[in-house]
Every structure is written in structure tokens, then in C-alpha cells.
Structure 1
Amino acid sequence: MDTTGPLRRVRAFDRRHPLSWDVALACGVGSVSANASGDLHPPGVALLVVVHGALVLRRRRPLPALVAAASAVVVGAVAAVLTGTAVPWAYLAVWVLLFHVGLRDGGLRERARFAVVGLVVGLVTLTSAVSPAGAGASGAIDTEERVRASVAVLAMCAASFLLGLQIRGRREQLAAQREEAARAAVVAERSRIAQEMHDIIGHNLSVITSLATGGAVAVRNAPDDAAAAFDAIGAVSRSSVRDVRRVLAVLRHDRSAEGAALSPQPGLREIPELVEAVRAAGLPVTLSRVGSLRQLSAGRQLAVHRIVQESLTNVLRHAAAGSRVGVAIRRDGADVVVRVDDVGPAGADPGGRTPAGVPGQGILGMRERAETYGGTLEAGPVRGGWSVVARIGADGNDGESEEPRR
């Protein structure tokens, strides 16, 4: 039987009417205690009223409520011995209060709280042995029965308190795990935003630097070429601004309750534009795509785009004059293989770039993107240049996006 619905409704009522719920619980426990006590006399009724009245404070003042209830039980037991009347059965209320003392922070240090609880448990246990519930002053219950009753009361007191402590510890552990998960999510999001900003700004600034260098030379000899270079600088700058705004918009709207419709992340469709921007900077680039790239998920497309972008950025930064670059994207079963080869001029030092054993942040970022999809990335010097080969595994979400335009 599914109890989720009733429990949810009970919790909702408790949140809306906490005092009503506390009074109802006190009345329910009091009814059980009164029924277990048998015939009650006026002092016994007064004792039950005081003990179960303390239950109303079980959440707001758990430790004072426990002390008040235990004191009433001790006073009632002493009065019963002196007057020869029966002792009401009020231990259930004490057990409920012990549970809540273990469950909630009473405002005292742990050592002081344990001392108070130990004193209360000892007095209640002693009371149950000296004057068991239902026994009069004549001592109609034998010694064995008294010992058995006191052991049972002691065991239930300890079990109630320890159960409250266990549930409290579990709640604190879950709260700590949630906080740690939230911190990890914040760190991961910051890392993702930093990686996106690195890819966007690093690439576009490299293109702009190359265009500006070429334009400064061409302005003296080929004004038309210089004008084209400066137009390309403007186009790349505007594209960079749009990309940065999109990333910052994601960060801003992720904090809002309603969110917002944001521009899609770049994918395979934007790679030809990326290649054209690099060509405009004066670096010959060829692009080839082999196999069916239909309906790759947006995440895999973004990974492919960023790997190509970072590779071309590294080429712009480090390539020697006369270098040529080939970009190849092909489907290999369920995987996508991205290869970017910088074919440097003859006689170039193959180790002149980032050392293979000490990869830069860009290479680390590309490797992380590939490994996110269970893939691999290899980057290192080849004859006269540099090569990046990334394999991006399947993520189970293919089919979410359309065929990229060729």
C-alpha cells in the first residue's frame, strides 16, 4: 500500500498548524497513558495532565519539557508511596520527549545535554523500581517484578534517546552531502563557464591579432586588403561579444526561477564560419567531413566545435609561416573522430610547440571535453607541425538535433 500521499498530507498539516499537531499528539499519548493506568484518582489525573502538557513543548523546548515531565513522574511516585495510591503510567510521554531531545538541538553543549539526559533516565528508572506503575504503598509487586519493570523502562529510555540521535545524525549527514553536492555543482559550473570563456575569447583574440598584424602591413601596400582585414576584425569582434553575452546570459538566467529562452550553443553548423575566420587571418585551412553526422546531440556538437576552435587557436598562436591546416571530422561507428593537422613548412622543428609531456590548459580542456563522452584526445608534434586527434564517444542522446548544414 502506498503511504506517500497520506504522509505528505500529514507533514503539510504539521507545517501549517504545528501547535494543533502538538496538542493532538499530547492528547493521543495522554489517552494511551490514561487507559494503561486503569482507575485514576485526582492526583493521578493531575500528574498525567502535567506530563502530557509538557509534550506540547517537545519541539520548541525539548530539554526543559523532558525535565518537567520527569520531575512530575518522580513527584507523583513519591506522593503515591506516601498516600498509598497507585502510580499512573506516564512513561510513554517520557520516551517521546527523550526521542525529541535526541532528535533536536536543545541549545546546550553535547556534554551538558548528555548529563541532563542521564540524570533524567536514572531518576525515572529508579522511580519505576521503587514505585512501579499500578503498585500501591503495600508493595504488592515482588522484587523480581520491580527489577524487570525498571530494566524495561531503562531500555526504552535508552532506545528512544538513541533513536533520536541516530535520525538527527542521518539528517545532518544528508544535509552535509547536499551542501557538498551544491558546492561541487558550483565549482563544476564555474569551471564550465571558465572553459567556455577561454575557448571563445582565446580563439577570437588570436584571430583578431593575426588580422590586425596583417592589416597593419597591408595598409601601406594593399589598402583593399587592409580594409577587408579590418572588416573581418569587426565581424570577429561582434561574434565574440555575442558569444560572451550568451555565456553570461546562461549564468544569469540559471539563477532565475523562470529561466529564459537562450540561443543554442555552437555546433557543427558553425564550424565553416570558424574556418572562414581563420582563413581570413591568413592561414590556409581545409575542412572535410566524412560519414553520417546526422542528428548528433547538442552536447557532442559543442564538444566537436570547441575542440576544432581550440586547435585552430593554437595553430594561429604557434604555427610557423607557410603552415597549412587540415580539419577532418568523420563518423567512426557510434564515435566521432576529429583531427586537426598543422602541416608546417619543411624543416620546421617538430618540438617547437607545446611539449607533449607538459600540455597547456587548452589541451587539457580539449581532453576533458572528449573524456566527458568516454573518448580520448591525443595531441603532439608530427613531422614539421602539430596534430590533434580526438575521439568523442556516444552519449545516448543522438537524434536531438538536425543534420548540420554542409
Structure 2
Amino acid sequence: MSTSPQGYTDRFERYADRHPRVVDAVLVLVLMACAIVGSGLTRPGAAPPQRDTTVLLVMGAACLALFRHRSHPRAVTVVNAVCIVFVTALEYVLTPLLLAPVMAAMYWLTTHTGLRTARFYSVTTAAALMAASALFDPTYAASPVPRSIGYCFWLLLPLAAGSMTRLRRAYVASVQARAEHAERTRDEEARRRATEERMRIARELHDVVAHHLALANAQAGTAAHFALTDPRRTKEILTSLTDTTSSALRELKTTLGLLRHDSTPAPASLEPSPGLARLPELVSTCSSAGLTVTVTTAGEPRPLTSGGDLTAFRIVQESLTNATKHAAADSAHVHLAYEDARLLITVTNEAPYGTTDAAPAVPRQGFGIMGMRERAHTVGGSFRAGPRPGGGFEVAVGLPLPPATPEASSKATDSATGEGT
């Protein structure tokens, strides 16, 4: 527990907040004692004042009025100012003990209403005291300036103390507000991160499970179609089906392993995230399901970031999966166009999307297109998907490319030269 003055002040304020009436009663009793003692003081060499019940009643009324300082601070200040002026008219010496009640009223007026209002009341009270002293105190004319300065000093002192209290309370309130805001911000950030993580997990599982299950279903259907007419091709398709399911299990295991070890280094057994380098494998798998995929490239190939490479592969994978499940076409085309700052990926099929006849079709509702759009926007890319004017369906994606470096350009040139040779 803190024993510093600041610690005592904090504990007193907390106690005052919990028991305001008790604190007010104690302060009023102390101020009444000060007024009683102050009414018996006189100047050096002068006869003591003839104390009667009038001054005690007046000062008692001033002190009792302080009980209402929280609800009526202006009225309490006016009552105390009138009482102290009346005591001055009775020719009592205005010592700090007699001024204590009006000083307390000024302090509370400052804390409740602000410095500007309290300054007006303080100046008005000081002027009234100087006028009463000039009229009723024969000794005031001998030293008006020191007496006036004394009145102003004692009445302005609670204004300074009240202003400091207001500033301290405002500072504490601002600190508490900032702490509450920071706490709310942390909670909101945690919820946002949890939502983003949940969406990321959902996208990964959807891409892994939906793609391989769709291909497995297509391969099984194709194998059933050729089971009696072409046993050799049926065997090849069933072999590809085994590879598809094995690949699905591996990718699912890899995805779950990455999620399980998200806060620790990933084990060495986990496979790297798929990228465009696995595009030939994806094309081969789609071919075994009866979908012929052609891939064309325009521009000088450049490496993407890890997130961009995974996004590009997953979007192509999902587009081909949708073509396998929903389109009547037996072929699809993937076009990669490398520009200065971005990679344009276009996946198209010629058949009407979502139907087996020539009538126009509406894409089925699902999470595939929504997931592709979210993936593209996550890495700062653009996404567009919809029916083609001449029939079929098209998915167009633009993904940002990292700035080309001299080393990357040199490697790409050497690779192109080697392939040409």
C-alpha cells in the first residue's frame, strides 16, 4: 500500500466518493470550529470583540449551507459571501479562520462549475469585503492596500486549488478512457483476428476437400461409364482416383498440421504450400476426370510472393473444380499474363455454366466464388467472375507482382536461354 502523499490523496478521494455525506459532515464541523475560534481573535493591542450569538448564528448558517455544495454550488457561495460580509460589518477581524467557510465554498464552486464562474464570484466577494471594511472598519483606511491584497489572496487561493483538482480529475478520467478504449480495441482486434482465422481455415478446407472430392466423383463417374467398353482406360482412371484421394489426404493432413502448429515452428515433414509450380499436376488430375485443360502464358514469368502464389493456385484449382462439377464442357483454358506490376489469370470454358444444354444458365449458389474473391482481395488483387457473352463462364483475377530485381531478371534470362538451347 502506498504511503506517499499522492497515495493518501487517492485513498481519501475514493473514500469521499463512497461516503460523501460523512466527509461533508466532518468538513463542516471543522469549518465551524475554525469560525468559532476566528471570531475570538483580534488585532494586537486591541480589545477582544464582544462575542455574542449573532456571529455564531451567521457563521453556523454559512457552514450548514456547505452541505448543499454538490447540488447548488452557486447558491452556497452567495450565502457564504453574504455571511462573511455581514461579519465584516460587525467589525470582526477577517482572519483565514473566519474566511475558511467562504474559501471552501469557492473551492467547491471551482471544482463543480469551472474557473471562469468561480473567478467572477471570487472577485465580487472580494469587492464586497473591501466595501464593507471601508464602511464599517475604522482601521481599514490606515492600510487599505495590504488589507485588500490579503482579501484577494485568500479568496483566490481556493480557485487555484480547485483548478488543480479539476485538471487532475480530467487527467485521471482521460487515462481511464484511454485504458477502456485500448481494452475495447484489443477485444475487437482479437475478435477480428479470430474471424479472419476462421475464414482462412474455412477457405483452405473448402479448397482441399471440395476440389479433390469433385475430381474423385468425376473420375468415379467416368470409370463407371468406361467399365464395360474400355477396361484399360477404366483401370487408368481408377489409378488416378487412388492418386486423387491420396493427394486429398496429404493436403488435408498438411493443412491441419499447419493449423495445429500455428504458434510453433512447423515440422519438417509438412509439405510446402502449393503454388503455380504444381499447375501441371493439377492439369493432369483434371484430365483423368475428363476435363481437358490447356495452359498458355504471356509475358516473362516472374515469381510471386508465397501468399500470392498460393492464392493463384487455389483460384485456378477452384475454377477448374467448378468447371468439372457444373459445366457441360469437356475442356477449359487457363491463361497467365505477366505484366509489369501484376499477373492476370483467366480461366474459361466454352459450355454454358451450370447446365447441359444450350440455354443460358445461372451459376449455382455456393462458397467457391465467394472464397476466390476473398482470397484475391486478401493479397490486394482484383476478381471478376461471370458468364461470357458467347456462352460459357470466365474467371478473371489480377494479382500484384513483387518488383523485379536484377538477380531475378538474370535468372529468368538464363532459364529462357537454357530452355531455348
Letter in 1 for 2:245: S
Instruction: Confirm whether residue 307 of structure 1 aligns to residue 318 of structure 2.
Output: no
Q: Residues 93-132 of structure 1: matches in 2 within 5 Å?
A: 118=70
CA contact (8 A) 2:386 2:395 kept: yes
Task: Describe the shift of the 1:282–1:399 C-alpha distance in structure 2 as closer, same or farther (beyond 3 A).
Answer: farther
Q: Report how far residue 248 of structure 1 moved.
A: 2.6
Q: Report how far residue 67 of structure 1 moved.
A: 8.4
Q: Which residue of 2 aligns with 1:93?
A: none
Letter in 2 for 1:154: G
Q: Report how far residue 193 of structure 1 moved.
A: 1.6
Task: Describe the shift of the 1:139–1:154 C-alpha distance in structure 2 as closer, same or farther (beyond 3 A).
Answer: closer
Q: Deviations over 1:19-44 (max 9, x none)?
A: 3xx224x3xx5xxxxxxxxxxxxxxx
Which of 371, 377, 384 is residue 371 of structure 1 equivalent to?
A: 377
Q: Which residue of 1 aligns with 2:143?
A: none
Q: Which residue of 2 aligns with 1:390?
A: 397
Task: Describe the shift of the 1:320–1:224 C-alpha distance in structure 2 as closer, same or farther (beyond 3 A).
Answer: same
Instruction: Confirm whether residue 226 of structure 1 aligns to residue 206 of structure 2.
Output: no
CA distance in 1, matches of 2:282, 2:297: 15
Q: Which residue of 2 aligns with 1:330?
A: 337
TM-score where L is the length of structure 2: 0.62
CA contact (8 A) 2:349 2:394 kept: yes
Which secondary structure state, in structure 2, belongs to the residue aligned with residue 220 of structure 1?
coil
Larger relative contact order (C-alpha < 8 A, sep ≥ 6)? Answer: 1
Structure 2 residue runs of 5 or longer lacking an equivalent are: 40-66, 85-94, 104-125, 130-150
Instruction: Confirm whether residue 260 of structure 1 aligns to residue 266 of structure 2.
Output: yes
CA distance in 1, matches of 2:407, 2:312: 16
Q: Residues 189-208 of structure 1: matches in 2 within 5 Å?
A: 189-208=197-216
Q: Report how far residue 286 of structure 1 moved.
A: 1.6
Q: Report how far residue 75 of structure 1 moved.
A: 5.6
Which of 346, 367, 370 is residue 361 of structure 1 equivalent to?
A: 367
Q: Deviations over 1:304-345 (max 9, x none)?
A: 111111110111112226x22222212022111112221349
CA contact (8 A) 1:271 1:305 kept: yes
Instruction: Confirm whether residue 272 of structure 1 aligns to residue 272 of structure 2.
Output: no
Q: Report how far residue 388 of structure 1 moved.
A: 2.1
Q: Deviations over 1:37-57 (max 9, x none)?
A: xxxxxxxxxxxxxxx646468
CA contact (8 A) 1:211 1:230 kept: yes
Which secondary structure state, in structure 1, belongs to the residue aligned with residue 313 of structure 2?
helix
CA distance in 1, matches of 2:203, 2:211: 12
Letter in 2 for 1:326: H
Which secondary structure state, in structure 2, belongs to the residue aligned with residue 199 of structure 1?
helix
Instruction: Confirm whether residue 242 of structure 1 aligns to residue 222 of structure 2.
Output: no
CA contact (8 A) 1:285 1:325 kept: yes
CA distance in 2, matches of 1:276, 1:57: 79
CA contact (8 A) 2:304 2:402 kept: no
The alignment's C-alpha RMSD in Å is 4.4
Task: Describe the shift of the 1:330–1:363 C-alpha distance in structure 2 as closer, same or farther (beyond 3 A).
Answer: same
Q: Residues 70-81 of structure 1: matches in 2 within 5 Å?
A: 76-81=30-35
CA distance in 1, matches of 2:337, 2:350: 19
Task: Describe the shift of the 1:378–1:214 C-alpha distance in structure 2 as closer, same or farther (beyond 3 A).
Answer: closer
CA distance in 1, matches of 2:249, 2:298: 32
Q: Report how far residue 187 of structure 1 moved.
A: 1.3
CA contact (8 A) 2:346 2:395 kept: yes
Instruction: Confirm whether residue 339 of structure 1 aligns to residue 346 of structure 2.
Output: yes
Which secondary structure state, in structure 2, belongs to the residue aligned with residue 326 of structure 1?
strand
CA distance in 2, matches of 1:400, 1:315: 38
Q: Report how far residue 264 of structure 1 moved.
A: 2.8
The structure that has the greater radius of gyration is 2
Q: Deviations over 1:58-114 (max 9, x none)?
A: 78x7845998887776665455445569xxxxxxxxxxxxxxxxxxxxxxxxxxxxx
Q: Which residue of 1 aligns with 2:295?
A: 287
Q: Which residue of 1 aligns with 2:109?
A: none
Which secondary structure state, in structure 2, belongs to the residue aligned with residue 339 of structure 1?
strand
Instruction: Confirm whether residue 381 of structure 1 aligns to residue 394 of structure 2.
Output: no
Paired residue total: 322
CA contact (8 A) 1:54 1:66 kept: no
TM-score where L is the length of structure 1: 0.64
Which secondary structure state, in structure 2, belongs to the residue aligned with residue 235 of structure 1?
helix
Which secondary structure state, in structure 2, belongs to the residue aligned with residue 292 of structure 1?
coil
Q: Which moved more, 1:143-152 or 1:303-312?
A: 143-152
Q: Residues 86-165 of structure 1: matches in 2 within 5 Å?
A: 118=70, 136-137=96-97, 143=129, 144-145=151-152, 146-165=154-173
Task: Describe the shift of the 1:241–1:152 C-alpha distance in structure 2 as closer, same or farther (beyond 3 A).
Answer: same
CA distance in 1, matches of 2:210, 2:406: 31
Q: Which residue of 2 aligns with 1:112?
A: none
CA distance in 2, matches of 1:400, 1:74: 84
Q: Report how far residue 153 of structure 1 moved.
A: 3.4
Letter in 2 for 1:162: A
Which secondary structure state, in structure 2, belongs to the residue aligned with residue 320 of structure 1?
coil
